[in-house]
Amino acid sequence: MFRFAPSSTRLYRFMPATERISHIHNMVSPQKAHSTIAFIGGGNMAEAIIGGLVSSGHPSSSISFSDLAQERRDYMKTKYPSIKSSADNLDVVADAEVVILAVKPQVLHNVINGIAPALQARKPLVISIVAGIAAASINRWIGGGESAIVRCMPNTPALVGEGAAGLYATAAVNEAQMGLAEKIVNAISKQTVWVDTESQIDAVTAISGSGPAYFFLIMEAMENAGVEAGLSKEDAKALTIQTCLGAAKIAQNSDEELATLRRKVTSPKGTTEAAINAMEDGKIRNVMASAVQAAQQRSRELAEIFGEQ
Ligand SMILES: NC(=O)c1ccc[n+]([C@@H]2O[C@H](COP(=O)([O-])OP(=O)(O)OC[C@H]3O[C@@H](n4cnc5c(N)ncnc54)[C@H](OP(=O)(O)O)[C@@H]3O)[C@@H](O)[C@H]2O)c1
């Protein structure tokens, strides 16, 4: 049922970012400046995307969300008074051009069962940020045919405006919808990549989805090593975090390969070389490769478990 995206859509994926942005402006709702967007689930990720959309100029009156928890609805209404909220998922789907699924994986099947007739009738673009549930499962739960579904794998730095995300579109998603999905996701993501096959979403999960925890572990180890080396915990932590941030900024602002950047700061017979040699002796590359493979494998397993519900 799911094919590669049509060639015009695939071409869009390979456009440079600047070209894509003007393309998006030309094709997203030409008569209407802003699409109506409904979030199912008003949790952390929905809040981050809504916050990003509103600060990028999307009117909050065109955004709605549903959440079962009264407390959560009240909290969001205090933050964004013009947003429509409801305890009933069907209420918000009713007039939406885009429906964003933002609930936990274990409740998604039930949630879709409740809104499937409305999705079938209106055929909005469905964006799922739910980890580990395949587009084919979502399509089947909606009730067949070919729904326009974009899977998105964001990450937690989205909560501080520094997210990275991977996107995958099913064949039914047209170019304008791809542009719209990217525009929405860019509200929380500074790096958004389209992948061609859905299985690559497992790789995105293993790199940027789970990745923040890898860096927390590395920073934790560095902080502890700094204390062993004689620094206070506070100083070791502050120096570690800033060094991580500084290295990331250099890498982000440079066109050079990461290996070249490393070599440039590693003088022969110097202190950094001594440290790098110790890391290579400790097989740091193998450790990272095993970690990414383990996350990718787990992502596939979870897709099987949840998809069979
Ligand atoms: N956080 C991340 O970094 C991250 C990264 C990548 C992907 N994701 C994915 O994003 C999705 C949302 O994550 P999150 O961190 O935003 O989770 P969250 O904070 O738990 O948000 C989910 C919200 O949906 C509500 N909900 C539960 N059942 C519902 C229903 N039947 N109808 C409407 N709303 C319902 C939940 O209410 P209750 O709390 O009362 O159940 C909760 O407020 C998850 O599938 C996760 O896998 C998250």
Kindly list the structural domains of the chain, giving each domain's residue range(s) and its CATH number in brackets, ordered by start.
Answer: 7-201 (3.40.50.720), 211-301 (1.10.3730.10)
Q: Using only C-alpha atoms, what is the Rg of the chain?
A: 22
Counting residues of the chain whose pLDDT is more than 70, the rounded percentage is: 89
Q: Which atom of ligand 1 is nearest to the CA of 130?
A: 45
Nearest C-alpha neighbor of 48 from the set 29, 36, 65: 65
What is the Å distance from ligand 1's center to 89 Cα?
14
pLDDT at 26: 45
Q: Could you tell me the distance, in angstroms and rounded to a whole number, from the CA of residue 136 to the centre of ligand 1?
A: 20
pLDDT of residue 14 exceeding 60, the answer is: no
Question: 184 CA to middle of ligand 1, Å?
Answer: 18
Q: How many CB atoms lie within 10 A of CB 12?
A: 23
Instruction: Tell whether residue 253 is among the known ligand binding residues.
Output: no
With tokens 């009240």, the residue in question is 74
Given pLDDT bands bounded at 50, 70 and 90, which one contains residue 223? very high
The token pair that represents 302 in the structure block: 């979870």
Closest CA to ligand 1's atom 17: 43
Which of 67, 90, 160 for mutating ligand 1's site (highest number of atoms within 8 Å of CB)? Answer: 67
CA–CA separation, 52 vs 184, rounded Å? 8
Mean pLDDT computed over every residue of the chain: 90
Q: Report the first-to-last Cα separation within the chain, whole angstroms.
A: 20
Q: Which of 208, 178, 164 is nearest to 48 (CA)?
A: 164
Residues 38 and 14: beta-carbon distance below 8 Å: no
Contact 100, 49 (CB under 8 A): yes
Confidence bin at 251 (pLDDT 50/70/90):
very high
Q: Is 63 marked as a binding-site residue?
A: no
Closest CA to 154 of 216, 75, 207, 197: 207
Euclidean distance between CA atoms 69 and 103, whole angstroms: 12
Output the pLDDT for position 29.
Answer: 45
In this predicted model, what pLDDT tens digit does every residue of 28-83 receive, in sequence order? 444 466 889 999 999 999 999 999 999 989 999 999 999 999 999 999 999 999 99
8 A C-beta contact, residue 158 and residue 48: yes
- In the sheet with 149-153, reading across from the earlier edge strand, the strands are 84-86, 63-66, 37-40, 98-101, 125-128, 149-153, 163-169, 189-194
Question: Is the CB of residue 52 less than 8 Å from the CB of residue 188?
Answer: yes
Q: What is the pTM of this model?
A: 0.86
Indicate whether 21 pLDDT > 50: no
Least confident stretch, 90-94, 101-105, 143-147: 143-147
Ligand 1: residue of 74, 103, 216 to mutate (most ligand atoms within 8 A of CB) is 103
Residues 299 and 132 sit within 8 Å (Cβ to Cβ): yes
Q: Is 89 annotated as ligand-binding?
A: yes
